[in-house]
Amino acid sequence: MAVLTLGSAIVALEAKEIIYGAIGLAGSLFGVATLFFLLNAPYVAVFQIAVYIGAVAVLILFTVMLVREEKWSKELPPTSLTKLAGIMTGAAIAVALIFAVVDTNLAQFTNIVNTATFVDIGQLISTGYAPILLVLALVLAASVVGALTLSRADKEDKGQ
């Protein structure tokens, strides 16, 4: 599962055609969802699949097809210096984090102690974190309205 997640992540960024990159991203998100299943968090895993693969990946695919262009397939490859800098930065951060993890005693936690079910999640969301839920609903509505306004305003400009 980890191999699927990381391999698809690399495909998402390195695929020549951006549409294959979008599919790779969907695969990587699916890999993360399976890791959630392994972690005994099925509700979040299903939520992840529904939201990311059901909505975000499809949205990205639609955008890619909507604005598809020949130029994208011949995307300018980054200069080797940029690429080297990117690999160095990413590897440095990953290695530093991994060394930090190895240095701790996190490996002693081998049992999943959490038994929270979706009932507990529901109770927590609808009681203590209800204000956050409401604010989140407003944020979602605002983002949808903003996205619609962006594309509509542009159409009016073209009409004039």
Site residues (CB under 8 A) for other proteins, limited to 64-83: 64, 66-67, 69, 71-72, 75-76, 78, 82-83
- Binding test (CB under 8 A) with other proteins, winner from 70, 74, 108, 159: 108
Min dist. Cβ of residue 159 to other proteins (A):
13
Q: Tokens in use for 9?
A: 């992540």
Burial-class residue 125 by CB neighbours within 10 Å (0-12, 13-18, 19+).
Answer: middle
- Binding test (CB under 8 A) with other proteins, winner from 111, 156, 159, 160: 111
10 close to 25: Cβ distance less than 8 angstroms: no
Q: How far apart are CA 150 and CA 88, in angstroms?
A: 37
Q: Where are the beta strands (DSSP E) in 1-153?
A: none
Amino acid at 56: V
Using CB under 8 A, count the residues that bind other proteins.
89
Which residues in the 87-106 window bind other proteins by CB under 8 A? 87, 89-91, 93-95, 97-98, 101-102, 104, 106
Regarding 23 and contact with other proteins (CB under 8 A), the answer is: no
